[in-house]
């Protein structure tokens, strides 16, 4: 299906693309070429699969949440247990893929941005494993709020840089990481943690995270058959949407399954009409942020508003 792949300029329809400064063009082209070279490379894919099985601990189980299903009284609910991956979230699937690319591109220094710290911890962990230098940008507000993850990153040998600009949170950390990348393109690989950033990042992150949905496609028929349920696949797949990586990872392989509804859930905060939420898909509008066109929360002057 065509719409599942970006066009030559990295757009999915109107969205995506590559809105970058001239100083990043070289780095982005280098990355595009490297990903095009390794994306279907049997050795690369075999190593990725090996790492996911033996380092991350995949496949993650599908678990029937029987009591929750009973309590809620409606659908039977199954959980894809990405929390059981090494480092405790889905982030590591993507980090391994990008770190493997960095090694092949000969980049000894890794930078990353992090909000709650899960992507930072996954990146610090893989850098320790592969012997790469690791610098993690984190809004100073998040550094305070998420101190256990800061401690973990430092323990793993990463440098955590508190970002004092803007709202001192994730978007500011991403800006700062971009600045670092511009200044250090020769030896640095930027591992973005979600489906954001200029092309090819969103496609790459989606591809690496698709292992979640691919496993579900195999696990659900087995689970349902064992329970004597006739269906092969769930009626709906539901994922929380922050930056979109776990959602894309589970949704993407399900796109051809037309009977399965794909439902993304955004955080409504104090309510969608209060202006205090983080529902950029529901209440945002089209704009360019962090190198791609997407839905953003912005004011009338195009300034990004706080989530």
Positions in the binding site for ligand PLP (CB under 6 A): 89, 91, 118, 194, 240-247
Q: Which residues pair with 62 in a beta bridge?
A: 80
Instruction: Give me the phi and psi of 138, to 5 degrees please.
Output: -145, 130
Given the complex with ligand PLP, which of 107 and 190 has the nearer CB atom?
190
Given the complex with ligand PLP, which of 91 and 293 has the nearer CB atom?
91
Least distance (Å) from ligand PLP to the CB of residue 199?
Answer: 17
Least distance (Å) from ligand PLP to the CB of residue 82?
Answer: 7
Least distance (Å) from ligand PLP to the CB of residue 12?
Answer: 16
Given the complex with ligand PLP, which of 91 and 277 has the nearer CB atom?
91
Helices (H), the chain: 22-38, 42-51, 66-72, 91-104, 118-130, 140-145, 147-155, 170-183, 201-209, 211-226, 245-251, 280-283
Find the residue with minimal CB distance to ligand PLP: 242
Least distance (Å) from ligand PLP to the CB of residue 88?
Answer: 7
Given the complex with ligand PLP, which of 6 and 244 has the nearer CB atom?
244
Buried b (16+ CB within 10 A) or exposed e, 3-14: eeebeeebebee
Least distance (Å) from ligand PLP to the CB of residue 43?
Answer: 28
Least distance (Å) from ligand PLP to the CB of residue 222?
Answer: 25
Q: Which two tokens stand for residue 171?
A: 């978007």
Least distance (Å) from ligand PLP to the CB of residue 64?
Answer: 20
* 285-289 sheet: strands from edge to edge: 11-12, 15-16, 292-296, 285-289
Q: Which of 47, 49, 43, 83 is nearest to 63 (CA)?
A: 83
Given the complex with ligand PLP, which of 184 and 214 has the nearer CB atom?
214
Task: Please give the Cα distance from 238 to 217 (Å, whole number).
Answer: 14
Strands 109-114 and 133-139, bridge-based pairing: parallel
58 touches 213 (CB < 8 A): no
CB atoms within 10 A of CB 19: 15
Given the complex with ligand PLP, which of 76 and 146 has the nearer CB atom?
146
Given the complex with ligand PLP, which of 84 and 217 has the nearer CB atom?
84
Q: Which two tokens stand for residue 169?
A: 């949170």
Cα 250 to chain centroid distance, Å, stands at 11
């Amino acid at each position: 299906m065509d719409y599942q792949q970006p066009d030559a300029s990295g757009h999915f329809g109107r969205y995506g693309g590559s809105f970058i400064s001239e100083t990043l063009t070289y780095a982005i082209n280098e990355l595009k070429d490297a990903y095009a070279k390794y994306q279907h490379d049997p050795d690369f894919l075999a190593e990725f699969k090996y790492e996911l099985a033996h380092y991350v601990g995949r496949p993650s189980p599908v678990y029937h949440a029987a009591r929750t299903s009973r309590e809620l009284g409606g659908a039977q609910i199954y959980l894809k247990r990405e929390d059981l991956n090494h480092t405790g979230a889905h982030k590591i699937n993507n980090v391994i893929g990008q770190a493997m690319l960095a090694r092949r591109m000969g980049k000894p220094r890794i930078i990353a941005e992090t909000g709650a710290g899960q992507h930072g911890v996954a990146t610090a962990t893989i850098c320790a494993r592969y012997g790469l230098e690791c610098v993690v940008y984190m809004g100073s507000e998040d550094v305070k709020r998420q101190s256990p993850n800061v401690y973990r990153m430092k323990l793993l040998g990463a440098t955590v840089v508190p970002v004092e600009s803007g709202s001192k949170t994730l978007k500011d950390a991403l800006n700062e990481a971009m600045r670092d990348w511009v200044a250090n393109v020769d030896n640095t690989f930027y591992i973005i943690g979600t489906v954001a950033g200029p092309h090819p990042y969103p496609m790459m992150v989606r591809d690496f995270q698709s292992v979640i949905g691919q496993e579900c496609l195999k696990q659900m028929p087995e689970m349902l058959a064992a329970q004597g349920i006739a269906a092969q696949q769930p009626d709906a797949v539901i994922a929380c949407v922050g930056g979109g990586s776990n959602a894309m990872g589970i949704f993407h392989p399900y796109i051809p399954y037309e009977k399965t509804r794909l439902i993304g859930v955004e955080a409504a905060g104090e309510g969608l009409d209060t202006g205090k939420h983080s529902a950029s898909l529901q209440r945002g509008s089209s704009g360019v942020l962090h190198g791609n066109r997407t839905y953003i929360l912005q004011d009338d002057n195009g300034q990004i508003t706080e989530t």
